[in-house]
Amino acid sequence: MFVKINSCANVGLDCALVNVEADISERQQSAFIIVGLPDIAIQEARERVRFAIVNSGFDFPRGKVAVNLAPADLKKEGPSYDLPIAICILRATNQITADLSDSIFIGELALNGEVRPINGVLPIAIFAKEKGIKNLFIPSENAAEAALISDINIFPVVSFNHMILHLQGIQKITPEPHNILSLSQPQTFETDMAHVQGQEHAKRALEIAAAGGHNILFYGPPGSGKTLMARTMPTILPPMETEEMLEITKIYSIANLLTKENPVIMQRPFRSPHHTSSGAALVGGGKIPRPGEISLAHRGVLFLDEFPEFPRAVIENLRQPLEDGIISISRAQGTLTFPARFTLIASQNPCPCGYYNDPEKNCVCSAGQILKYQKKISGPIIDRIDLHVDVPRINFEKMQENRDNESSAQIRQRVIAARKIQCERFSDSNIIYNGEMSPIQIKRFCELDATSIELLKSAVNRLHLSARSFHRILKLARTIADLSGNENINSNNIAEALQYRPKN
């Protein structure tokens, strides 16, 4: 008897409907085959499904069992097809007779019939709602994640037997209640701007970066506070909106980084990969591409400590995402695009020993070593960083000061006010903050008076700035004006933006 039920496949951050088809021929020699471009994990489902069915008290059919995962030209991977395959077999042998046409089934089976969690459930729930499918049967540990989506019945399945009792109408599964996101949930951080002594210039640069979504490079000797300040960045960023939470949670679901205890990403991500990370780890990839660190940092912060220690080829991979806010990964099977709209914070020492131009400690590096170290970061990457900030050594008197430093909460209020201005400014477009502006939007929203034009003209000629640097100065000045509450950019805003360009 031929049977077909619905399942789903993750394709990047999107999904595709998969029809799980089963047919049984009792006249042929006993065999169990799965076709439809399955990977090794799906091929091994033959043993998991067989024992799960038997250990749940049902009969596994004799003869030839053929399972097809359609469409046949879409690569299938992972153990999430165990549950629909097992249900298909019972339906084909008339051990259950329920109507399964308006449901999607996903889940991994243990040998004893338990249903184990899988990754990528949130995108599947969104897909089911878009396609008008009413019921989604998923592992119980994934239920809280899927329940973020309303207007769909989420059935948490504990075991295969539990699933069959529901389909037979003997013991109904209670749908998971809709999980309403709370935007007022308090956020907790281990660091605070009040903990940073001195470095007022660098803290001001962080505030500008947070307000406008600009990239920043800290440049200074070891122990000057570069890492500490980078880790305080999330504390001054505004809370996420519901759409942002769902967008980021979707990425983490695909990457299998959600847990039953924390099924939703409520705080802006802060990712800090080690400098030994590969290009695929940073930007994403693999035989079947998965999100990398830049996508996991979407709408949050990507911190690259010891920037020149990253392989140059790895750093060059950042060119497209820094410019476009996306990363496109091409493979033989096709091209997948992942979001990567993050704020880059990079830090570096001035030389391999870290003390070049330090007023108190001598540098032991040769001129050739210093030049080689500094040339590890290419000009195009430097050009894509808006704020270049010197972070000097902190003297003893500054460290011992008892004055109250401005807290992250105070700075955050100014950042939120500036972001609100930008939200109103870009209400008719798909961007959020100034750092995302295109040349057309720069021309529209960054008008300059005569004094500002002359100042900027002089700087462009003196510093030999590229067109990209010119546009980034205007975007930076627009953010500085927003922080000051100015409707128009003035010469003071331009002057402050210029001081953050790299010094030759």
- What is the predicted pLDDT for the residue at 398? 66
The pLDDT of residue 400 is above 70: no
320 vs 313: CA distance, rounded Å: 13
- Report the DSSP beta bridge partners of residue 290: 285
Token match 């939200």: residue?
Answer: 423
* Higher per-residue pLDDT: 460 or 1: 460
Do 134 and 150 have their domain in common?
A: yes
Domain boundary among the residues 412, 432, 452 is at 432
**Domain-located, residue 184:** no
397 vs 216: CA distance, rounded Å: 27
- What is the predicted pLDDT for the residue at 396? 62
Do 288 and 423 have their domain in common?
A: yes
**Domain-located, residue 181:** no
Token match 């077909």: residue?
Answer: 4
185 vs 344: CA distance, rounded Å: 26
The pLDDT of residue 399 is above 70: no
**What is the pLDDT averaged over residues 297-326?**
94
DSSP 8-state secondary structure symbol assigned to residue 406:
P
Do 274 and 236 have their domain in common?
A: yes
Do 30 and 54 have their domain in common?
A: yes
* Higher per-residue pLDDT: 335 or 365: 365
The pLDDT of residue 257 is above 90: yes
Closest CA to 67 of 2, 21, 7: 21
Do 261 and 118 have their domain in common?
A: no
Give the number of residues written for the chain: 504
The pLDDT of residue 395 is above 80: no
The pLDDT of residue 119 is above 70: yes
- Strands 14-25 and 64-70 come out as antiparallel
**Domain-located, residue 111:** yes
The range of the structural domain enclosing residue 33 comes to 3-167
Token match 């570069």: residue?
Answer: 226
| Cα 139 versus chain centre, distance | 24
**Domain-located, residue 13:** yes
Do 28 and 147 have their domain in common?
A: yes
267 vs 117: CA distance, rounded Å: 24
Do 152 and 226 have their domain in common?
A: no
**Domain-located, residue 138:** yes
- Report the DSSP beta bridge partners of residue 181: none
- What is the predicted pLDDT for the residue at 126? 95
387 vs 389: CA distance, rounded Å: 6
Do 226 and 115 have their domain in common?
A: no
| pLDDT tens-digit series, residues 347-392 | 999 999 999 988 888 899 999 999 999 889 998 999 999 999 999 8
Is there a contact between 235 and 405 (Cβ–Cβ < 8 Å)?
Answer: no
Domain boundary among the residues 167, 184, 219 is at 167
Is there a contact between 133 and 102 (Cβ–Cβ < 8 Å)?
Answer: yes
Percent of the chain with pLDDT strictly greater than 70:
97
What is the H or E stretch that residue 81 is in? none
- What is the predicted pLDDT for the residue at 153? 96
**What is the pLDDT averaged over residues 387-414?**
83
- Report the DSSP beta bridge partners of residue 328: 337
**Domain-located, residue 183:** no
- What is the predicted pLDDT for the residue at 405? 82
* Number of other residues whose CB lies within 10 A of the CB of residue 196: 21
- What is the predicted pLDDT for the residue at 139? 97
**Taking CA 291 as the corner, what is the angle to CA 285 and CA 297, rounded to the nearest 5 degrees?**
135
- What is the predicted pLDDT for the residue at 503? 67
Q: The tokens of 349 are what? A: 């020492």
| pLDDT tens-digit series, residues 51-94 | 999 999 999 998 999 999 999 999 999 999 999 999 999 999 99
Is residue 293 classed exposed, middle or buried when 0-12, 13-18 and 19+ CB atoms within 10 A define those classes? buried
| pLDDT tens-digit series, residues 471-488 | 999 999 999 999 999 999
Q: Is 206 helix (H, G, I), strand (E, B) or coil?
A: helix
Domain boundary among the residues 432, 462, 478 is at 432
Do 234 and 354 have their domain in common?
A: yes
Is there a contact between 18 and 7 (Cβ–Cβ < 8 Å)?
Answer: yes
Q: Identify the CATH number of the domain in which residue 497 sits.
A: 1.10.8
DSSP 8-state secondary structure symbol assigned to residue 190:
S
| pLDDT tens-digit series, residues 126-157 | 999 999 999 999 999 999 999 999 999 999 99
- What is the predicted pLDDT for the residue at 314? 93
Q: How far apart are the first and last CA of the chain?
A: 76
- Residue 313 vs residues 277, 318, 377: alpha-carbon distances, Å: 11, 9, 10
**Domain-located, residue 55:** yes
Do 462 and 483 have their domain in common?
A: yes
Q: Name which of 36-45, 81-90, 246-255, 283-292 the model is least confident about.
A: 283-292
* Number of other residues whose CB lies within 10 A of the CB of residue 384: 18
Do 453 and 351 have their domain in common?
A: no
Do 459 and 495 have their domain in common?
A: yes
- What is the predicted pLDDT for the residue at 143? 94
- What is the predicted pLDDT for the residue at 177? 93
- Mean pLDDT, rounded, of the chain: 91
The pLDDT of residue 504 is above 70: no
Name the domain count of the chain: 3
**Domain-located, residue 182:** no
Q: Identify the CATH number of the domain in which residue 32 sits.
A: 3.30.230.10
Is residue 346 classed exposed, middle or buried when 0-12, 13-18 and 19+ CB atoms within 10 A define those classes? buried
